[in-house]
């Protein structure tokens, strides 16, 4: 399932960016990595939401066809 693999990738990258942000000694660097983590988490949520929407649409279509 490609969407799940993409979601896992984005969540993994978000964790990595949070770790880098937490270790950063420079506030600007920490902020940059925190923002990257936020972006990765948003992308993961978008994929999850899109997958749920697609599932709902497909379920509705199969009911309509029966």
Number of domains in the chain: 1
Instruction: Write down the pTM of the prediction.
Output: 0.74
- DSSP H helical ranges for the chain: 2-23, 27-65
Question: 39: exposed, middle or buried (C-beta count within 10 Å: 0-12, 13-18, 19+)?
Answer: middle
What pLDDT is recorded for position 61?
64
Segment 23-60, tens digit of pLDDT: 999 999 999 999 999 999 999 999 988 877 767 767 76
Tokens matching residue 7: 């979601």
* Structural domain of 16: 2-65
What pLDDT is recorded for position 14?
98
What pLDDT is recorded for position 66?
45
What pLDDT is recorded for position 49?
84
Cβ atoms of residues 13 and 60 within 8 Å: no
């Amino acid at each position: 399932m490609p969407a799940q693999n993409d979601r896992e990738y984005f969540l993994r990258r978000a964790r990595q960016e949070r770790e880098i942000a937490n270790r950063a000694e420079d506030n600007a660097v920490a902020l940059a990595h925190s923002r990257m983590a936020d972006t990765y988490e948003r992308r993961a949520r978008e994929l999850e939401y899109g997958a749920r929407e697609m599932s709902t649409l497909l379920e509705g279509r199969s009911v309509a066809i029966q």
